[in-house]
Amino acid sequence: YLKLPRALREGFWSAARLLPESRSAKNVPGRLKRFFGGGRGDFSDAYDSWISYFGPEERARLYASARSGAAGSAPRLPGRLDSPDDIFAYELRNYLSDDLLCLADRVSMSNSLELRVPFLDVRLAGLLASAPLALKTRGFTLKALLKKIVAGRLPAEILSGPKRGFQVPLARWYWEELKGFVREVLNGGSIEKNGWLSPGYIAGMLKEHESGRRNLSDQIHSVIMFELWLASNRKLA
């Protein structure tokens, strides 16, 4: 996609911005917007955009004027990220250990379960990490090598079934059950008192989400966690 002319990619982005978003956990229109928005730059910028809740322009508006310098100093992802293999190595070192395995540990331990991750046996992980990503992925077929190995051992509906993540319905919660909680945490007075985020931007973000035009549950979740963290640390101080 990045090999297409820049003007054409900008055209796709302009068209994608008109799509109404879904409140489902998958939110396919929202994912398309993130893809086309990130696809306006180079490979590293596209990946950074895909994993970030706020783009550079949104970051600049997110912070209060007194903290606007923080938007400009937002760190870029470390190291060289010019190919899928670079991203695989980066996520293996960071996303896998600091996010996925951390959450799996917390959820299992809170339910008195001793969890094992067989695919992360050190010998198997070392072997597969040394194999090129092209061997493990075929076009849009994910886990191609794994599917080939277990073909005949698992039912066809399992092999050809869609990927299923462990997502929670944040969009619905923040629109229905937790709507009052969201408004309480992100009220203008509290945001202004904390002094980090822009009350006007946050109010606009909530209005856009509640209108149904966009699914901004991830962004809302991140600023809620940030504001609760600020309040908690102020009490400790």
Tokens of 13: 């982005």
Which residues share a beta bridge with 154? 151
pLDDT tens-digit series, residues 92-111: 888 898 888 998 899 899 99
Residues 6+ apart with CB under 8 A from 169: 24, 25
Secondary structure E strands in 60-162: none
Long-range contacts of 47-53 (CB under 8 A, 24+ apart): 47/77, 47/81, 47/87, 48/76, 48/77, 48/81, 53/218, 53/219, 53/222
pTM: 0.76
- Report whether 53 contacts 222 (CB < 8 A): yes
Successive 10-residue mean pLDDT values, the chain, 237 residues: 92 90 81 88 83 79 73 61 84 88 91 90 89 79 85 89 79 86 87 87 89 86 92 72
Give the closest residue to 78 by CA, choosing from 60, 69, 90.
Answer: 90
pLDDT in tens, 128-165: 888 887 787 777 777 888 888 899 899 988 888 887 77
Exposed / middle / buried, residue 217 (Cβ in 10 Å: 0-12, 13-18, 19+): buried
Distance CA 52, CA 35 (A): 11
Quote the pLDDT of residue 63: 86
